[in-house]
Amino acid sequence: MGILKKIEYFLLGKEKIIKDPFFGEIISEKIKKEREDKNYRWYVEDYLIPNKEEETTFINLEGNYRFPNPQHLETLKKILNNLPDFFNKIKLEVERLNETKLEGEKLYIKKWTDEYYFSGISSFFEKEMEFAFYLDVIDYENENLKDITFDYIKGEVKNLEF
C-alpha cells in the first residue's frame, strides 16, 4: 500500500466490505474510527431482485462499524423472498388512495413485475424496522404509470405517493 493510500485512510477512513450469501457485497461508508456509539451507512450497489435480472436495486442500510443491522437484513430478505405478498400490500394501499383521487390522477397497475422495479430501498433507523422503497416504471413511454415511493413501517405500507 502506498503512502498516499495510508494518508487517505488516516484522514478519511476506509470502507469495509462484507459478503452476504443473499445480498452479495455490502460496503460501508468510510469508517475512520471504530466507535460503538455511531451509526454507519452500508450499501448494496447492484442487488438483483429475484426473477428481475435486468434491473438492479440500490440498498442503503444502517449499522455499526462492524456490519449492517442484522434485523434489517433479515426483514429485507423476508420481503424480497415474498414479493407477491408485498406487492399485494402495495396494491391495497394504491386502491385505497385511488378512492380519493380524480380519474386522471389514479394509478392502475396490471402486473407489478412487468411494470415496475425497485430502484432503491433505504432503512430509516438503526433500531427500528422502517424502510423507504422507491419503485420506478420500467417503460416510461406508458403515461398511465408513475414512479411510486412509500414507507414500510412495522409490516405496513405508509405514506405512499405516486
Which amino acid does the sequence have at 65?
A: Y
| pLDDT for 111 | 85
Q: Which pLDDT band, with edges at 50, 70 and 90, does 161 fall under?
A: very high
Dump pLDDT digits (tens) for 26-38.
999 999 888 878 8
Please state, rounded to an integer, the average pLDDT across all residues of the chain.
Answer: 87
| pLDDT for 44 | 96
Three-class SS of residue 79? helix
Which of 2-16, 52-66, 89-103, 136-150 is predicted least confidently? 2-16
Provide the number of structural domains found in the chain.
Answer: 1
Q: In the predicted model, what is the mean pLDDT of residues 104-113?
A: 84
Torsion of CA 29, 30, 34, 37, to 10 degrees: -50
For cell 469495509, name the residue: 16
Q: Which pLDDT band, with edges at 50, 70 and 90, does 109 fall under?
A: confident
How many residues are there in the chain? 162
Report in angstroms the alpha-carbon separations of 66 from 19, 20, 40, 70, 130: 12, 13, 9, 11, 21
Burial of 76 (0-12, 13-18, 19+ CB in 10 A): buried
Residues with Cβ < 8 Å from 132, sequence gap 6 or more?
120, 121, 122, 124, 149, 150, 151, 152
Q: Which pLDDT band, with edges at 50, 70 and 90, does 112 fall under?
A: confident
Read off φ and ψ for residue 18, nearest 5 degrees: -120, 155
pLDDT score of 7 more than 70: no
Q: DSSP label at 84?
A: H
pLDDT score of 106 more than 70: yes
Give the range of the structural domain holding residue 38, as residue numbers without chain letter.
3-161
Report in angstroms the alpha-carbon separations of 63 from 5, 30, 154: 25, 13, 18
- pTM exceeds 0.75, yes or no: yes
